């Protein structure tokens, strides 16, 4: 099957899928962890370690999805589409808040500017259950 990556979109046969960078997904998981668990008692070093484990867990989840054929992955620089809402807020629609704090967004922009794991759902993932 031929894949063509253009501006964050993947054409797989008759399907059109959106590519997403695993670092961006991991950052969203980290935000969910921070929102749902009390982490105030952890030291900055412990928080860094926990964030690293979250990042690693997301990578392992996509290893399994890829082994099952539900996603395809490549090492590539993420599309600019995935960074549009990580700036100063000028690219966001009126009334929409940035998804991450400024420092966090800047660090994520740096990660997305380098080659990283980028994933897209395959037709198998789109198949009805």
Q: Which of 5-19, 66-80, 105-119 has the lowest mean pLDDT?
A: 5-19
Q: What pLDDT, on the 0 to 100 scale, is given for residue 103? A: 87
Residue 129 lies in a domain: no
Residue 78 lies in a domain: yes
Residue 128 lies in a domain: no
Q: Quick check: helix, strand or coil at residue 66?
A: helix
pTM of the model: 0.74
The whole-angstrom distance between residue 33's C-alpha and the CA centroid of its chain comes to 15
Name the pLDDT band for 3 (thresholds 50, 70, 90). very low
* For residues 46-56, average pLDDT: 94
| More confident position, 1 or 15 | 15
Q: Which domain holds residue 117?
A: 3-123
Number of domains into which the chain is organized: 1
Cα–Cα distances (Å) from 6 to 10, 44, 50, 81, 129, in that order, read 7, 39, 34, 11, 29
Residue 27 lies in a domain: yes
- The answer to whether 78 touches 118, Cβ cutoff 8 Å, is yes
């Amino acid at each position: 099957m031929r894949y063509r990556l253009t501006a964050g979109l993947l054409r797989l046969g008759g399907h059109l899928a959106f590519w997403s960078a695993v670092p961006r997904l991991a950052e969203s998981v980290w935000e969910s962890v921070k929102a749902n668990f009390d982490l105030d008692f952890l030291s900055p070093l412990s928080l860094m370690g926990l964030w690293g484990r979250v990042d690693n867990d997301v990578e392992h989840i996509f290893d399994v999805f890829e082994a099952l054929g539900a996603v395809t992955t490549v090492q590539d620089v993420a599309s600019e589409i995935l960074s549009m809402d990580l700036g100063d807020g000028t690219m966001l629609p009126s009334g929409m808040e940035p998804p991450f704090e400024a420092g966090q967004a800047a660090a994520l922009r740096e990660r997305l500017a380098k080659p990283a794991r980028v994933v897209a759902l395959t037709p198998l993932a789109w198949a009805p259950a």
